[in-house]
Structure formats: C-alpha cells, structure tokens
C-alpha cells in the first residue's frame, strides 16, 4: 500500500509556480538534445522528477509512462498533460515504492535537471539501476559542477548555503553527477559534457551540463 501523500512544503509550492512558468524556456534550451536523446524510447518508461511534464511531448507514442514526482502540487498538472498527449500515465510520489512494485521492469528510466536535488544521489542511482530490466537504459540530461572554472565552482558549492536552495527546491549545483553515474554500477556509460547557453543564473551557475545514457 502506498504511503499517504505529505502536504506540499512552502518551498515545493514556490518551485511549482516557477516551473509552470518556465516550460517555454526549457524547450528553447533543450529541445534539440531531448529529441536526439529520447528518439528510441519505448515500452515501460519511468521518469524521476518530471515536474510539469515538460518532457512528455518528446516521447514517442505507445509508451507506458510512470512519473515519480515528490512535489504533490504538480501531480494534477502531470496527469492533465499526459491525458492531453494520450499517454498512458501513472504518477507516484516515492521512488522506493516504485522500485518495490516494479523492480526490473523498466525499459527506460529518465532524469533531466533533477539529480541536483535528490536527497541521496548514490541511493537514487541504485534505485534507477534496480528499476531497469537487463539491457534497459538510463537517459540523463543534467547540470553539473564546473571542474574547469574555479570561480563558477566556488559559486556552485556556496549556493546551497544561500536562499538558492529554498527557491530551487533543494538544488545543489556543485554535485559531481557524472562521477556518481560512473560509479553507480552500470555495465556501460556514455556521458558527454557541454556548456549550455542560457540567461541569467543559468549562465552564471549552471552552464556545465552532461547528457547521455547508461546501460544495466
């Protein structure tokens, strides 16, 4: 039986409002990479932290999609967007519950701009691996710590101690997510680094990105 859903925190309410106004910017920044990354998606698809469902329009038809979204404010938004796109959808709150019910059943697990804010990065990646069937793929597009620019790296690692963390619902931009994925026990990892153009804080703090896939 699923655990009762906890009420949304103030930070979750603030962040949900921000997300609902940022879909257009997200599409402008990431559409090309998402189209390439998601073109072979099929079967049972689990997405971690889908937010407003900004990725749903990039997926091919015929998938069965499960969104694991800890922010309850966004659940009705996700269900409505999936309904509009005619996607068979299930929205859940807790990743561990999804693993208990669907371990080894996922063809794909997807994360975009979410691993910065999970409470336990290594544990989340273990859960991703557990969800996947043998040969299943983890697709990711994430902002990461800047190893090349010490000024940006200092800003990134200072951000969690400022109001940034509240307004971003827990984002820690100083995480080495690429290293965590490499250490998570996948049989093959294809991880590519690039610098993402964008306005304001994106250019100042979150410009370094990675994208790619990992195979169970």
93 secondary structure, DSSP code: S
Is residue 10 within 8 A of residue 18, CB to CB? The reply is no
pLDDT in tens, the chain (216 residues): 455 567 878 878 877 788 788 899 999 999 999 999 999 999 999 999 999 999 999 999 899 999 999 999 999 999 999 999 999 999 999 999 999 999 999 999 999 999 999 999 999 999 999 999 999 999 999 999 999 999 999 999 998 888 888 878 889 999 999 999 999 999 999 999 999 988 776 777 889 999 999 999
Q: From the CB of residue 157, how many other CB atoms can be counted at a distance below 10 Å?
A: 15
Q: What is the pLDDT of residue 3?
A: 53
Q: What pLDDT, on the 0 to 100 scale, is given for residue 101?
A: 93
Q: What pLDDT is recorded for position 4? A: 59
- What is the spatial distance between Cα 75 and Cα 102, in angstroms, rounded to a whole number? 20
Distance CA 21, CA 19 (A): 5
Which has the closest alpha carbon to 47: 63, 35, 30? 63
- State the pairing for strand pair 106-112/208-215: unpaired
* CB-CB neighbours of 173 under 10 Å: 26
Helices (H), 22-74: 23-37
CATH superfamily membership of 10-215 = Vaccinia Virus protein VP39 (3.40.50.150)
Domain coordinates of the chain in residue numbers? 10-215
């Amino acid at each position: 039986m699923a655990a009762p859903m906890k009420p949304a925190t103030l930070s979750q309410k603030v962040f949900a409002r921000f997300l609902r106004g940022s879909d257009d910017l997200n599409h402008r920044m990431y559409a090309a990479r998402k189209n390439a990354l998601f073109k072979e998606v099929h079967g049972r698809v689990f997405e971690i932290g889908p937010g407003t469902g900004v990725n749903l329009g990039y997926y091919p038809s015929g998938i069965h999609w499960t969104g694991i979204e800890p922010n309850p404010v966004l659940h009705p938004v996700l269900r409505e967007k999936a309904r509009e796109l005619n996607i068979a959808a299930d929205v859940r709150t807790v990743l561990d519950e999804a693993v208990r019910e669907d371990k080894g059943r996922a063809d794909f697990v997807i994360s975009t701009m979410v691993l910065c804010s999970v409470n336990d990065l290594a544990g989340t990646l273990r859960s991703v691996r557990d969800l996947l069937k043998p040969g299943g793929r983890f697709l990711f597009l994430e902002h990461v710590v800047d190893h090349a620019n010490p000024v940006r790296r200092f800003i990134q690692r200072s951000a969690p101690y400022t109001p940034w963390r509240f307004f971003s619902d827990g984002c820690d931009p100083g995480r080495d997510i690429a290293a965590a994925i490499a250490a998570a026990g996948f049989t093959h990892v294809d991880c590519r680094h690039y610098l993402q153009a964008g306005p304001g804080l994106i250019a100042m703090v979150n410009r370094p990105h990675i994208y790619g896939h990992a195979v169970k």
